[in-house]
Protein backbone atom coordinates (compact mmCIF):
# COMPACT_ATOMS: atom_id res chain seq x y z
CA UNK A 1 0.00 0.00 0.00
CA UNK A 2 1.31 3.43 -0.97
CA UNK A 3 1.27 5.77 2.00
CA UNK A 4 0.13 9.36 1.49
CA UNK A 5 2.29 12.27 2.66
CA UNK A 6 1.82 13.02 6.36
CA UNK A 7 -0.01 9.73 6.81
CA UNK A 8 0.80 9.78 10.53
CA UNK A 9 -1.29 12.92 10.94
CA UNK A 10 -4.59 12.14 9.25
CA UNK A 11 -7.31 14.58 10.24
CA UNK A 12 -10.04 12.94 8.18
CA UNK A 13 -11.08 11.29 4.96
CA UNK A 14 -14.65 11.44 3.77
CA UNK A 15 -17.02 11.17 0.85
CA UNK A 16 -19.46 13.59 2.51
CA UNK A 17 -19.21 17.14 1.15
CA UNK A 18 -20.66 18.91 4.20
CA UNK A 19 -18.42 17.02 6.62
CA UNK A 20 -15.42 17.74 4.44
CA UNK A 21 -16.24 21.44 4.38
CA UNK A 22 -16.56 21.59 8.16
CA UNK A 23 -13.38 19.65 8.89
CA UNK A 24 -11.26 21.47 6.31
CA UNK A 25 -12.44 24.78 7.75
CA UNK A 26 -10.95 23.80 11.11
CA UNK A 27 -7.52 23.45 9.53
CA UNK A 28 -7.76 26.48 7.24
CA UNK A 29 -10.74 28.84 7.14
CA UNK A 30 -14.46 28.97 6.44
CA UNK A 31 -15.17 28.49 2.75
CA UNK A 32 -17.67 27.48 0.12
CA UNK A 33 -17.14 24.00 -1.32
CA UNK A 34 -19.06 22.93 -4.40
CA UNK A 35 -18.56 19.64 -6.25
CA UNK A 36 -18.77 20.32 -9.97
CA UNK A 37 -19.40 16.78 -11.14
CA UNK A 38 -20.27 14.13 -8.57
CA UNK A 39 -20.10 11.56 -11.36
CA UNK A 40 -16.32 11.93 -11.23
CA UNK A 41 -16.42 10.92 -7.55
CA UNK A 42 -15.57 12.67 -4.30
CA UNK A 43 -13.20 11.34 -1.67
CA UNK A 44 -11.51 14.08 0.34
CA UNK A 45 -8.40 13.52 2.46
CA UNK A 46 -6.62 15.88 4.80
CA UNK A 47 -3.46 15.09 6.73
CA UNK A 48 -2.06 18.03 8.69
CA UNK A 49 0.66 18.80 11.23
CA UNK A 50 1.61 22.01 12.97
CA UNK A 51 5.33 22.74 12.57
CA UNK A 52 5.97 25.70 14.86
CA UNK A 53 4.20 28.71 16.35
CA UNK A 54 2.98 30.09 13.05
CA UNK A 55 3.08 27.33 10.47
CA UNK A 56 1.55 24.01 9.51
CA UNK A 57 1.99 21.62 6.61
CA UNK A 58 -0.85 19.59 5.11
CA UNK A 59 -1.65 17.08 2.41
CA UNK A 60 -5.01 17.91 0.82
CA UNK A 61 -6.94 16.21 -1.99
CA UNK A 62 -10.65 16.16 -2.82
CA UNK A 63 -10.85 13.23 -5.19
CA UNK A 64 -13.31 15.09 -7.41
CA UNK A 65 -13.72 18.28 -9.42
CA UNK A 66 -14.53 21.01 -6.90
CA UNK A 67 -14.94 24.77 -6.71
CA UNK A 68 -13.61 26.40 -3.52
CA UNK A 69 -14.16 29.98 -2.41
CA UNK A 70 -12.36 30.74 0.87
CA UNK A 71 -13.46 33.53 3.16
CA UNK A 72 -11.03 36.12 4.53
CA UNK A 73 -7.86 34.55 5.85
CA UNK A 74 -5.10 35.50 8.31
CA UNK A 75 -2.39 33.43 6.66
CA UNK A 76 -0.31 32.94 3.54
CA UNK A 77 -0.68 29.58 1.82
CA UNK A 78 1.89 27.99 -0.45
CA UNK A 79 0.23 25.33 -2.62
CA UNK A 80 2.82 22.87 -3.91
CA UNK A 81 1.11 20.51 -6.40
CA UNK A 82 1.79 16.79 -6.33
CA UNK A 83 -0.66 15.89 -9.11
CA UNK A 84 -3.45 17.36 -11.21
CA UNK A 85 -4.25 21.00 -11.79
CA UNK A 86 -5.76 23.87 -9.84
CA UNK A 87 -6.96 27.07 -11.48
CA UNK A 88 -7.06 30.13 -9.23
CA UNK A 89 -8.61 33.53 -9.79
CA UNK A 90 -8.00 36.48 -7.49
CA UNK A 91 -7.48 40.23 -7.75
CA UNK A 92 -8.05 40.07 -11.49
CA UNK A 93 -5.30 37.48 -12.00
CA UNK A 94 -5.60 33.92 -13.23
CA UNK A 95 -2.93 31.47 -12.15
CA UNK A 96 -2.61 27.74 -12.28
CA UNK A 97 -0.82 25.09 -10.24
CA UNK A 98 0.47 21.83 -11.69
CA UNK A 99 3.54 19.70 -10.99
CA UNK A 100 6.33 22.17 -11.60
CA UNK A 101 4.50 25.35 -10.58
CA UNK A 102 3.21 26.24 -7.13
CA UNK A 103 1.12 29.20 -5.96
CA UNK A 104 1.73 31.61 -3.08
CA UNK A 105 -1.65 32.93 -1.96
CA UNK A 106 -2.00 36.05 0.21
CA UNK A 107 -4.23 36.63 3.23
CA UNK A 108 -7.38 38.75 3.12
CA UNK A 109 -7.93 38.69 -0.64
CA UNK A 110 -10.94 36.98 -2.17
CA UNK A 111 -10.14 34.14 -4.51
CA UNK A 112 -11.79 31.20 -6.25
CA UNK A 113 -10.10 27.84 -6.82
CA UNK A 114 -11.06 25.05 -9.18
CA UNK A 115 -9.38 21.74 -8.26
CA UNK A 116 -9.35 18.93 -10.80
CA UNK A 117 -10.41 15.48 -9.65
CA UNK A 118 -6.81 14.23 -9.55
CA UNK A 119 -5.43 17.36 -7.88
CA UNK A 120 -3.41 16.97 -4.67
CA UNK A 121 -1.31 19.60 -2.88
CA UNK A 122 1.13 20.00 -0.07
CA UNK A 123 -0.12 23.16 1.63
CA UNK A 124 2.30 25.18 3.74
CA UNK A 125 0.30 27.58 5.89
CA UNK A 126 2.07 30.58 7.43
CA UNK A 127 0.33 33.01 9.72
CA UNK A 128 0.68 36.53 8.38
CA UNK A 129 1.84 37.90 11.74
CA UNK A 130 4.52 35.21 12.04
CA UNK A 131 5.92 35.79 8.56
CA UNK A 132 5.89 39.57 8.85
CA UNK A 133 7.57 39.35 12.26
CA UNK A 134 10.22 37.09 10.72
CA UNK A 135 10.74 39.57 7.90
CA UNK A 136 11.06 42.47 10.34
CA UNK A 137 13.65 40.44 12.23
CA UNK A 138 15.69 39.84 9.06
CA UNK A 139 15.42 43.45 7.90
CA UNK A 140 16.04 44.97 11.28
CA UNK A 141 13.31 47.52 10.63
CA UNK A 142 9.55 47.98 10.48
CA UNK A 143 7.62 47.19 7.29
CA UNK A 144 6.45 50.21 5.33
CA UNK A 145 3.74 48.24 3.52
CA UNK A 146 2.00 44.85 3.77
CA UNK A 147 3.96 41.84 2.56
CA UNK A 148 2.77 40.61 -0.85
CA UNK A 149 4.35 37.84 -2.93
CA UNK A 150 4.25 37.19 -6.65
CA UNK A 151 1.60 34.46 -6.93
CA UNK A 152 3.42 32.09 -9.30
CA UNK A 153 6.29 30.01 -7.93
CA UNK A 154 8.18 27.64 -10.26
CA UNK A 155 9.31 24.61 -8.28
CA UNK A 156 11.09 22.70 -11.03
CA UNK A 157 13.83 25.31 -11.48
CA UNK A 158 15.37 28.35 -9.84
CA UNK A 159 15.14 29.28 -6.13
CA UNK A 160 11.65 27.80 -5.81
CA UNK A 161 13.00 24.36 -6.58
CA UNK A 162 15.26 24.43 -3.53
CA UNK A 163 12.50 25.80 -1.31
CA UNK A 164 10.04 23.09 -2.38
CA UNK A 165 12.74 20.46 -1.78
CA UNK A 166 13.04 21.77 1.78
CA UNK A 167 9.28 21.46 2.27
CA UNK A 168 9.31 17.90 0.95
CA UNK A 169 12.20 17.08 3.29
CA UNK A 170 10.11 18.36 6.20
CA UNK A 171 7.25 16.07 5.16
CA UNK A 172 9.64 13.11 4.87
CA UNK A 173 10.99 13.72 8.37
CA UNK A 174 7.48 14.06 9.81
CA UNK A 175 6.46 10.78 8.17
CA UNK A 176 9.23 8.96 10.02
CA UNK A 177 9.35 8.22 13.74
CA UNK A 178 12.25 9.04 16.07
CA UNK A 179 13.59 11.97 14.07
CA UNK A 180 14.88 15.27 15.42
CA UNK A 181 11.96 17.12 13.85
CA UNK A 182 9.82 15.82 16.73
CA UNK A 183 11.78 18.08 19.11
CA UNK A 184 10.21 21.57 19.35
CA UNK A 185 13.59 23.29 19.02
CA UNK A 186 14.43 21.38 15.84
CA UNK A 187 10.96 22.06 14.44
CA UNK A 188 11.37 25.78 15.19
CA UNK A 189 14.71 25.85 13.36
CA UNK A 190 13.22 24.07 10.33
CA UNK A 191 10.29 26.48 10.35
CA UNK A 192 12.64 29.46 10.50
CA UNK A 193 14.61 28.10 7.54
CA UNK A 194 11.49 27.69 5.43
CA UNK A 195 10.31 31.22 6.25
CA UNK A 196 13.69 32.72 5.39
CA UNK A 197 13.90 30.59 2.24
CA UNK A 198 10.47 31.72 1.05
CA UNK A 199 11.35 35.37 1.63
CA UNK A 200 14.56 34.93 -0.37
CA UNK A 201 13.15 32.74 -3.15
CA UNK A 202 9.82 34.39 -3.96
CA UNK A 203 9.60 37.97 -5.33
CA UNK A 204 8.15 40.65 -3.05
CA UNK A 205 8.67 44.35 -2.39
CA UNK A 206 11.26 43.83 0.37
CA UNK A 207 13.45 41.36 -1.52
CA UNK A 208 16.09 43.86 -2.59
CA UNK A 209 16.59 44.89 1.04
CA UNK A 210 17.11 41.27 2.01
CA UNK A 211 19.59 40.78 -0.81
CA UNK A 212 21.69 43.74 0.31
CA UNK A 213 23.61 42.44 3.29
CA UNK A 214 25.05 45.88 4.01
CA UNK A 215 21.53 47.26 4.47
CA UNK A 216 20.63 44.57 7.00
CA UNK A 217 22.23 44.90 10.42
CA UNK A 218 22.77 41.68 12.30
CA UNK A 219 20.04 41.09 14.91
CA UNK A 220 21.29 41.86 18.39
CA UNK A 221 22.00 38.99 20.75
CA UNK A 222 19.62 40.37 23.40
CA UNK A 223 16.66 40.53 21.02
CA UNK A 224 17.34 37.03 19.70
CA UNK A 225 17.50 35.63 23.23
CA UNK A 226 14.32 37.45 24.33
CA UNK A 227 12.46 36.20 21.25
CA UNK A 228 13.59 32.62 21.93
CA UNK A 229 12.47 32.85 25.55
CA UNK A 230 9.01 34.12 24.62
CA UNK A 231 8.49 31.68 21.75
CA UNK A 232 9.59 28.67 23.83
CA UNK A 233 7.49 29.61 26.88
CA UNK A 234 4.84 32.21 26.02
CA UNK A 235 2.72 31.07 28.97
CA UNK A 236 5.30 32.31 31.51
CA UNK A 237 4.85 35.68 33.25
CA UNK A 238 7.35 37.64 31.17
CA UNK A 239 7.94 41.35 31.70
CA UNK A 240 10.33 43.65 29.90
CA UNK A 241 12.35 43.79 33.13
CA UNK A 242 12.57 40.00 33.46
CA UNK A 243 13.53 39.64 29.79
CA UNK A 244 16.18 42.33 30.12
CA UNK A 245 17.62 40.58 33.16
CA UNK A 246 17.61 37.20 31.37
CA UNK A 247 19.39 38.66 28.34
CA UNK A 248 21.86 40.74 30.31
CA UNK A 249 20.94 44.24 29.09
CA UNK A 250 19.17 47.29 30.45
CA UNK A 251 15.40 47.59 30.02
CA UNK A 252 15.73 50.60 27.72
CA UNK A 253 18.32 48.80 25.61
CA UNK A 254 15.99 45.85 25.08
CA UNK A 255 13.03 48.10 24.32
CA UNK A 256 15.07 50.05 21.78
CA UNK A 257 16.31 46.82 20.19
CA UNK A 258 12.77 45.51 19.72
CA UNK A 259 11.55 48.79 18.24
CA UNK A 260 14.49 49.11 15.84
CA UNK A 261 14.79 45.45 14.81
CA UNK A 262 11.21 44.17 14.96
CA UNK A 263 9.09 47.30 14.95
CA UNK A 264 7.18 46.26 18.09
CA UNK A 265 7.62 46.32 21.86
CA UNK A 266 8.48 43.14 23.81
CA UNK A 267 4.92 43.10 25.18
CA UNK A 268 3.40 43.37 21.70
CA UNK A 269 5.63 40.56 20.46
CA UNK A 270 4.65 38.35 23.42
CA UNK A 271 0.95 39.04 22.90
CA UNK A 272 1.33 38.11 19.23
CA UNK A 273 2.91 34.75 20.08
CA UNK A 274 0.31 34.06 22.78
CA UNK A 275 -2.61 34.94 20.51
CA UNK A 276 -1.37 32.51 17.89
CA UNK A 277 -1.03 29.73 20.49
CA UNK A 278 -4.58 30.40 21.66
CA UNK A 279 -5.89 30.31 18.09
CA UNK A 280 -4.11 27.04 17.36
CA UNK A 281 -5.63 25.44 20.46
CA UNK A 282 -9.11 26.83 19.75
CA UNK A 283 -8.96 25.30 16.26
CA UNK A 284 -7.85 21.93 17.65
CA UNK A 285 -10.40 21.62 20.47
CA UNK A 286 -14.11 20.79 20.41
CA UNK A 287 -16.55 23.32 21.92
CA UNK A 288 -18.04 20.75 24.29
CA UNK A 289 -14.63 19.94 25.74
CA UNK A 290 -13.13 23.42 26.14
CA UNK A 291 -13.90 27.03 26.98
CA UNK A 292 -12.39 30.20 25.59
CA UNK A 293 -11.67 31.49 29.09
CA UNK A 294 -9.71 28.42 30.16
CA UNK A 295 -7.62 28.35 26.99
CA UNK A 296 -6.93 32.09 27.08
CA UNK A 297 -5.90 31.92 30.74
CA UNK A 298 -3.54 29.01 30.07
CA UNK A 299 -1.67 31.14 27.52
CA UNK A 300 -1.36 34.21 29.74
CA UNK A 301 -4.62 36.15 29.17
CA UNK A 302 -6.43 36.24 32.53
CA UNK A 303 -8.80 39.08 31.54
CA UNK A 304 -11.28 37.65 29.06
CA UNK A 305 -12.71 40.96 27.83
CA UNK A 306 -9.30 42.46 27.09
CA UNK A 307 -8.19 39.21 25.45
CA UNK A 308 -11.29 39.03 23.25
CA UNK A 309 -10.70 42.56 21.97
CA UNK A 310 -7.06 41.75 21.12
CA UNK A 311 -8.11 38.50 19.45
CA UNK A 312 -10.79 40.11 17.30
CA UNK A 313 -8.43 42.88 16.23
CA UNK A 314 -5.76 40.36 15.24
CA UNK A 315 -7.87 37.67 13.53
CA UNK A 316 -11.07 39.47 12.53
CA UNK A 317 -13.38 37.15 14.46
CA UNK A 318 -14.26 36.36 18.06
CA UNK A 319 -12.44 33.52 19.85
CA UNK A 320 -15.77 31.74 20.38
CA UNK A 321 -16.31 31.74 16.61
CA UNK A 322 -12.91 30.09 16.13
CA UNK A 323 -13.73 27.45 18.75
CA UNK A 324 -17.05 26.64 17.09
CA UNK A 325 -15.20 26.24 13.78
Q: How far is Cα 249 from Cα 240, in angstroms, rounded to an integer?
A: 11
pLDDT of res. 139: 80
Q: Which residue has the higher pLDDT, 181 or 12?
A: 12
Using DSSP's 3-state secondary structure scheme, residue 191 falls into helix
Beta carbons within 10 angstroms of residue 221's beta carbon: 12
pLDDT of res. 218: 55
pLDDT of res. 214: 44
Judge whether residue 185 has pLDDT over 90: no
Q: Is the dihedral of CA 152, 121, 48, 25 positive or negative?
A: positive
Listing DSSP states for 231-266 in one string gives: HH-TTS---HHHHHHHHTS-HHHHHHHHHHHHSS-H
Q: Which of 223, 194, 71 is nearest to 136 (CA)?
A: 223
Q: What is the tens place of the pLDDT at every residue in 106-137?
A: 997 789 999 999 999 999 999 988 898 888 87
Top mean pLDDT of 5-9, 185-189, 216-220 is at 5-9
pLDDT of res. 23: 95
Q: What is the tens place of the pLDDT at every residue in 288-321?
A: 888 999 999 989 998 999 999 989 888 888 899 8
H-helix segments, the chain: 17-27, 128-139, 158-175, 184-201, 207-211, 221-232, 240-247, 251-262, 266-284, 292-298, 304-315, 319-324
pLDDT of res. 281: 85
Phi, psi of 38 (to 5 degrees): -65, -20
CATH superfamily of 221-324: Homeodomain-like (1.10.10.60)
Q: How far is Cα 124 from Cα 59, in angstroms, rounded to an integer?
A: 9
Using DSSP's 3-state secondary structure scheme, residue 11 falls into strand
Q: Do domains 1-217 and 221-324 have the same CATH topology?
A: no
pLDDT of res. 215: 44
pTM score, whole prediction: 0.70
Q: Where are the domains of the chain?
A: 1-217, 221-324
Judge whether residue 245 has pLDDT over 90: yes
Q: Is residue 17 a contact partner of residue 35, using CB atoms and an 8 Å limit?
A: yes
pLDDT bucket at 287, cuts 50 / 70 / 90: confident
Average pLDDT for 153-173: 95
pLDDT of res. 38: 72
pLDDT of res. 191: 92
Average pLDDT for 264-284: 88
pLDDT of res. 133: 84
Judge whether residue 216 has pLDDT over 60: no
pLDDT of res. 1: 67
CATH of 1-217, one of 2.60.120.10, 2.60.120.560, 2.60.40.1190, 3.30.565.10: 2.60.120.10
Range from 147-161, 182-196, 212-226, 301-315 carrying the lowest mean pLDDT? 212-226
Q: What is the tens place of the pLDDT at every residue in 65-74?
A: 999 999 888 8
Judge whether residue 48 has pLDDT over 70: yes
Listing DSSP states for 196-215 in one string gives: HHHHHHS-BTTHHHHH-GGG
Supply the mean pLDDT for the chain. Answer: 89
pLDDT of res. 193: 93
Range from 138-142, 147-151, 192-196 carrying the lowest mean pLDDT? 138-142
Q: Is residue 199 a contact partner of residue 147, using CB atoms and an 8 Å limit?
A: no
pLDDT of res. 84: 96
pLDDT bucket at 146, cuts 50 / 70 / 90: confident
Q: How far is Cα 11 from Cα 14, in angstroms, rounded to an integer?
A: 10
Amino acid sequence: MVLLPLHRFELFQSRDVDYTRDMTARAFCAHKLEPLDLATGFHARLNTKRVGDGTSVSYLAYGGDVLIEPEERTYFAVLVPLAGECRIEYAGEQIRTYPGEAAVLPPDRSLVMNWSADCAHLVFRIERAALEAHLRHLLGSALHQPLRFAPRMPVDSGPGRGWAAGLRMLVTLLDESDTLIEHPLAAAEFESGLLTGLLLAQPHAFQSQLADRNARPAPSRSVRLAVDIMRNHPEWEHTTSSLAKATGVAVRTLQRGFREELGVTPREYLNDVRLQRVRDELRARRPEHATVGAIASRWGFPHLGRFSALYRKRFGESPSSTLRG
